[in-house]
Homo-oligomer: A and B are copies of this chain.
């Protein structure tokens, strides 16, 4: 091994987890963790190119341009890669609600001895932001 072979790699490693890396979106201003989703290489490349968060929907099997339906886009201010290069952290400016349930963050329920308790205010009614039927 020479010095150049130990240089930092160019980006996330999409070879390990069926082509996917986990992606944590964090509010760039408040530090609130908003959501966790997945990216494939194409989603990551489009995110870099456009400055808007694009994920890969495992359930739908296709790119998920965050906010394309709801308008709740994420403008990406910085991207970090973890030690194993299989997770990325996005610092974002979030328009509206990150969560499809209408909450600012997907982590709106806290574990308590009595079960899960909703600990956030719903910002928007999901029925009003997603077209039905």
Contacts and interface: CB of A to CB of B under 8 A. Distances in A.
A83 B36 CA distance: 10
Contact of A117 (B8, B22, B31, B33): B8
Number of copies: 2
Interface string A87-126: 1110000000001110100111111000111110000000
A41 interface: no
Given A22-B36, A36-B87, A81 B31 contact: no
B111 A83 contact: no
Interface residues of A, number: 40
A24 interface: yes
16 contacts: A9-B115, A9-B116, A24-B33, A31-B31, A36-B82, A36-B87, A78-B110, A80-B109, A80-B110, A81-B109, A81-B110, A81-B116, A82-B107, A83-B99, A83-B103, A83-B108
Given A36-B87, A87-B106, 13 more contacts: A8-B116, A8-B117, A22-B36, A26-B33, A79-B111, A80-B109, A80-B111, A81-B116, A82-B99, A82-B106, A83-B100, A83-B101, A83-B106
